[in-house]
Amino acid sequence: MRDRDTGVFLGALMKLYSEREHAEQFMDGILLCRRVPYFRGLEDRDRGDEDEGMIVHTGDQVGELFIVDEQSGKQHRIPGVTKTRLRYNSTDRLALFCTALVRSDRYEAERPEMAHQFMQRLQASLQAFVRIGAHTVVVLDVERFLDQVKAAAEREGFVSHARAVEYYDAFPRQVELHGDQTFGPVFCKHERYRDQREHRIAIDTRDDGLEPLRLSIGSLRDITVHVETKNLMENIRFRRDAIPAN
């Protein structure tokens, strides 16, 4: 897995499913992409998010800001602290395909500690993955997968963007959208979701329909592996190359 400009990662995308049947459909190259409002109304502590596709400028705990008078010890309220949601209507029409991205740090060349970092981060997120889905499809060739998605979207006349989610922590939060009000907000989520290590593909179908998008990208059978999520750690192993004798 290579960043063309700045080095290499060791990493894989992992798509989580509750049903084996849906995992098989993904391996056959059928992507079910849900629209942004679907996640706002989802009553699921791991996948549901009332702030989905919005930029939120405070943390979860909305309170008041005070300044303390050093002489009297009295607290004086500074007005105007609220939980502010900035909603971009164009975001609602986006269809999202969400996976987990587990990867090492980026290096200029392959290094032994990349494998340790990968396994350490997978272990840290394993319980979150188990809650989301009992079945995991591991995508081994990330670049090819993303290329297939982009090509399929373009054939349909859609615009797509793909990248890892940026997690923000607490109030105040300043998010730079770089003028991209259509796609930017869906790649920002609160830190309570950080252990999901989410990577997203956002597809703009250029219509206001809210029905899920089914996108056929071609078979992924040769670059994917299915495993039960609870067994991920046991099924990923490190093999040492033998050192030839002198």
pLDDT tens profile 23-78: 999 999 999 999 999 998 888 878 888 888 876 655 445 556 778 888 898 888 77
Cα 68 to Cα 58, 71, 81, 116: the distances in Å are 22, 9, 16, 48
CA distance 88 to 162: 19
Report d(CA 114, CA 103) in Å as an integer: 8
pTM: 0.80
Angle CA 76–80–82, to nearest 5: 115
157 dihedral zone (left: phi>0; alpha: psi -120 to 50; beta): left
| pLDDT less than 50: residues of the chain | 59-60, 171-174, 177-178, 243
pLDDT at position 243 is: 47
DSSP code for 151: H
Q: Could you tell me which residues come within 8 angstroms of residue 85 by beta carbon, excluding any fewer than 6 positions away?
A: 51, 54, 55, 56
